[in-house]
Amino acid sequence: MIRKPVPLVLLPAMGCDGQLWARQIVDLGDIAHPELGDLSVDATLAGMATRVLAHAPPRFAVAGVSLGGYVALEMVRQAPDRIDRVALFGTRATMQTRPRTVGEQGMLATAPHADPMLTSIISGPVQTMADRVGIDVFERQQRALLARPDIEPAIAAVHVPALVAVGDRDRICLPADARALADRISHAKFHELRHCGHLAPLERPGEVTMLLRQWLLNAPD
């Protein structure tokens, strides 16, 4: 039986653009219609979620990294009937012990967080994305993230197949933080990526593609 491709909205991390998801956009093209959500304009997570929803298909799957993960949760809260499933990478369950300033968050986001060889491989693409996004957007996204509201209502709204994944060397969202999120979502699948930091789709593209393929193909419980 030929399976109809799934509409898939991909949300980047802070300071990133579509290059973060480049491999997944290509490698999932046989089972999905990927499109990138724009998180560069609005000053709040709610505004970002509203904008992405306004341009998204009537019903779709959504995957986000870090900032994109929080926006994905807010989208579920705003429009639970439109979202078929959700995948969250490097996303925390609470605001506790988060960086307290924009500068502190920025230092963590750009610090080496994987083995030296991997860091050298991704540093070029990360810098290129940051240059394209620009400092104004980066700072606006940081402030939106630091001012994010309690996400408990958004977590409670998730009643669709969910994937929660995190790098074992992520310094922004520790594995325990992501596991705590998975534990609060009914029947969520949890996965820890080895030798991986905060930008899993770029650092471990093949493994992330495999995870997303399984998540997209598995029928809802």
Q: Tell me which amino acid residue 55 is.
A: H
Confidence of residue 115 (pLDDT cuts 50, 70, 90): very low
Q: State the average pLDDT over residues 209-217.
A: 97
Residues 62-81 have pLDDT tens digits of 999 999 999 999 999 999 99
Residue linked to tokens 């109809």: 4
Q: Would the pLDDT of 117 be above 70?
A: no
Higher pLDDT, 112 or 148: 148
Q: Tell me which amino acid residue 97 is.
A: T
Residues 147-198 have pLDDT tens digits of 887 888 889 889 999 999 999 999 999 999 999 999 999 889 999 999 999 9
Determine the Cα–Cα distance for residues 156 and 209; give it in Å rounded to an integer: 27
Residues whose CB falls within 8 Å of the CB of residue 177, separated by 6 or more in sequence, listed in order? 92, 93, 94, 166
Residue linked to tokens 């650092």: 203
In degrees rounded to 5, what are phi and psi of residue 108? -65, -40
Bridge partners, residue 9, by sequence: 35, 62
